[in-house]
Amino acid sequence: MLTETQRSIRDMVRGFAQDRIRPHSARFEAEGGYPPALFQDMGALGLWGMTAPDAYGGAGADAVSYALALMEIAAADGALSTIVSIQNSIMVGALLKDGDDAQRQRFLPDLIAGRMIGAFALTEADAGSDAAAVRTRAQKVDGGWRINGAKQFITSGRISGLTMVIAVTDPQAGKKGLSAFLVPTGRPGHHVDKVEHKMGQGASDTCALRFEDLFVEDDLLLGAPGQGYALALANLETGRIGIAAQCVGMAQAALEIAVAYAKDRHSMGKAIIDHQAVGFRLADLATRLEAARQLVLSAAALKDEGQPALTQASMAKLFASEAAEAIVSGAMQTLGGYGYLEEYGIAKIYRDVRVCQIYEGTSDIQRMVIARSL
């Protein structure tokens, strides 16, 4: 059951998302991005630092409130919720947990206010699910490090003001030889090689990055040398809860379109929702959606209690991402030919939701995590 504060946060974000985001979602996709003013308005609501303390401008909310907020943002625009998830779970979360005071003071205010968007650069062409296969190197030099290598599928790589780069600092140490670096955008040697043309989430840029003798000072090392892999793993709970919440939001939006259409469209003398074939389909979709929602909120509640939640987060991410695709597909089927048209909104959600079974750990990886816990 939600507390009064949690319901208040959910309702506030819903109102903002439905008023300021959803009516413009198609335009954002066509333009390939969002206006900076929208990011800053979201910052004023605390949406870029939901669980960050007030001292840095954060909302100081719990994990359940964060999940509820992401559901509402995703219901309005799936691509925007991806950017919000990365900003909260990885960028802000890692700085709060592993950053030193100087790093927090330098970067958190701009990240939380929406004046700066962060990117997380771990994945490479040959290092996705196998994060230990990273080849990007960081070599120690006087006063800092020189980074060389390439990254792939980096969300917000084009618009980011700060990129967290995972690189090898000790090639002989395996997973313990990876380190994390905070790289401000615009430095010599930081290149955006390509903005990918994707099936969905077109307003959220996904890029191939390249680093050529990119210099970063010692004070831009996040945590200690060799902690990069552990740092990335430490944020999996929040990240997977966030993507699962995103799935619930997009599925909810598609189902609402389908139910409204089924009530309005008449065939053979009655609304099509009163035909058992349609009504039962919608009943099944609504049930799967509620199951996904409860898995997400359960994992978030465990995290709020300080309990280990990685297995539950993986279950939520696995179930919600696969259920969401089925729910959106069923919603499209309910509209028939109209569901296939862009103007009804479901086609965009269908494109946006498919990637949720891939990023933040594929469905196969989630099953591996869950199986190990057994």
Q: Which are the catalytic amino acids?
A: 360
Pairing type for strands 137-141 and 190-195 reads: unpaired
Cα separation, 160 vs 119, in Å, equals: 6
CA atoms within 13 A on the CB side of 59: 25
Hey, which residues does 184 pair with through a beta bridge? 162
User: Is the separation of the CB atoms in 68 and 6 below 8 Å?
Assistant: yes
The label of the residue with tokens 């359960």 reads 298
Q: Counting Cβ atoms within 10 Å, is residue 80 exposed (0-12), middle (13-18) or buried (19+)?
A: buried
User: Is the separation of the CB atoms in 250 and 197 below 8 Å?
Assistant: no
CA distances 49 to 123, 161, 197, 262, Å, are 24, 16, 29, 38
Cα separation, 263 vs 249, in Å, equals: 21
User: Is the separation of the CB atoms in 227 and 98 below 8 Å?
Assistant: yes
